[in-house]
A and B are shown apart, each in its own frame.
Chain A
Amino acid sequence: MTRHQKKLWIGLIVLALLTPLGVILPERFKAGGAWGEWGPEELKQLIGYMPEGFKKLANLWKAPVPDYNLSGQQSSMAGQIISYIASGIIGILAVALVIYVISRLLVKNEK
């Protein structure tokens, strides 16, 4: 690893430590979720009914760490902050692993 790359990795880890801003700021400014990303209940409230096809697809996938939250639905702000940082670190490791596997496969095929 070059010195410059080491610096960039440190930058990414700092970025991971700062990710809780992504939950704190929206809370502070009373902003809701993103447009077009309402959960089933939220959508029902907005338009008065639950679209048929939506109902079938909405809960198709149970993610291991839903919403970057490791501590369940009723978690405190502190719990969310820790979850978010942990998710950031898990994310870095997961994408690095996938890229490593892809690179290995590509380079191996070359030989």
Chain B
Amino acid sequence: MEVLVHIPDGYLSPQTYVPFYGAAFVFWAVALKKLKKELSTKHIPYLAMAAAFSFLIMMFNIPIPGGTTGHAVGAGIIALLLGPWTAVIAVSVSLIVQAVVFGDGGITALGANCFNMAVAMPFVSYWVFKLVKGPSTSGTRLLVAAFLSGYVGLSAAAFLTGCEFGIQPLIASGPDGRPLYAPYPLSVAVPAMALEHMLLFSVVEGVITVLLFKYFLKHEPDLIYALTVKEA
């Protein structure tokens, strides 16, 4: 049996994957610059653990009975714990290793996969957390914020992925009108990606985010970036 979890090669046209590589590079460059400024030796093990965590959590394929499979990404909790820019690096490293070593996710699609799961997702997660949390510093509101941060973050990444699939027939069709790459239109691709995530996979992501958030709140609250640092 074959279980892959990210956009493979062949589904995105060059006019899609090249710009996404460009966008990913910009975010990598800024993230590395920020990391260089802020990285203390104390944080390196956490960065490695975050990348390892994201790598492993994506291996847990969750089945929709009789349907497809999907997975959590872990980018939400990593953004809350280490900050969205550090999450960009951690999740990107995990996606790069998955693509290069395990053929999970395409090499041409790597920019897009990184943009969806390692850029859009951690930032959306982080903003949702900040927005829902408001001024409160403890209690249920924090936990609701953590859940929603994972839930909305993964749903946003799935929605983006659906859009990337869905625009392919519009921008890349052969002379006979047949799509050259991903064949399904937006009206099929976006609901397919967004709905199955909103119904199941994002819920899992939200639960994982809350549980880990609770754990760190109890054991190492000083580490939580989203509670200790004012600016993203």
Residues of A within 8 A of B (CB): 1, 4-5, 8-9, 12, 15-16, 18-19, 21-23, 25-37, 39-40, 43, 47, 49, 51-68, 80, 84, 87-88, 90-92, 94-96, 98-100, 102-103, 106-107, 109-110
Specify which of A26, A35, A37, A92 is in contact with B55 (CB 8 Å cutoff): A92
> A37-B4, A37-B7 are known contacts. Are A92 and B56 too (CB-CB below 8 A)?
yes
| Interface contact B11-A36, CB-CB below 8 Å | yes
11 contacts between A and B (CB under 8 A): A5-B49, A15-B53, A26-B63, A32-B68, A35-B196, A36-B11, A49-B178, A53-B10, A53-B13, A63-B103, A95-B94
Query: A51, A91, A95: which has the most chain B beta carbons within 10 Å?
Result: A95
Complex interface: chain B residues within 8 A of A66 (CB): 102-103
Name the segment of B38-46, B118-126, B149-157 touching the other chain. B38-46
> A19-B59, A22-B71, A92-B56 are known contacts. Are A67 and B181 too (CB-CB below 8 A)?
no
B50–chain A nearest beta-carbon distance, Å: 9
Size category of the binding interface on chain B:
35 or more
Complex interface: chain A residues within 8 A of B46 (CB): 5
Main SS class of interface, A: helix
Query: B10, B36, B49: which has the most chain A beta carbons within 10 Å?
Result: B10
Specify which of A8, A22, A53, A103 is in contact with B181 (CB 8 Å cutoff): A53
Give the complex CA separation of A76 and B174 in angstroms: 41
Specify which of A12, A27, A54 is in contact with B49 (CB 8 Å cutoff): A12
Complex interface: chain A residues within 8 A of B165 (CB): 36
**For the complex, is B161 an interface residue (Cβ under 8 Å from A)?**
yes
Q: Which residue of B lies closest to A27 (CB)?
A: B1
Complex interface: chain B residues within 8 A of A35 (CB): 68, 70, 192-193, 196
Give the complex CA separation of A30 and B65 in angstroms: 6
| Interface contact A22-B59, CB-CB below 8 Å | yes
Complex interface: chain B residues within 8 A of A37 (CB): 4-8
Complex interface: chain B residues within 8 A of A58 (CB): 8-10
Give the complex CA separation of A88 and B67 in angstroms: 25
Give the complex CA separation of A28 and B178 in angstroms: 36
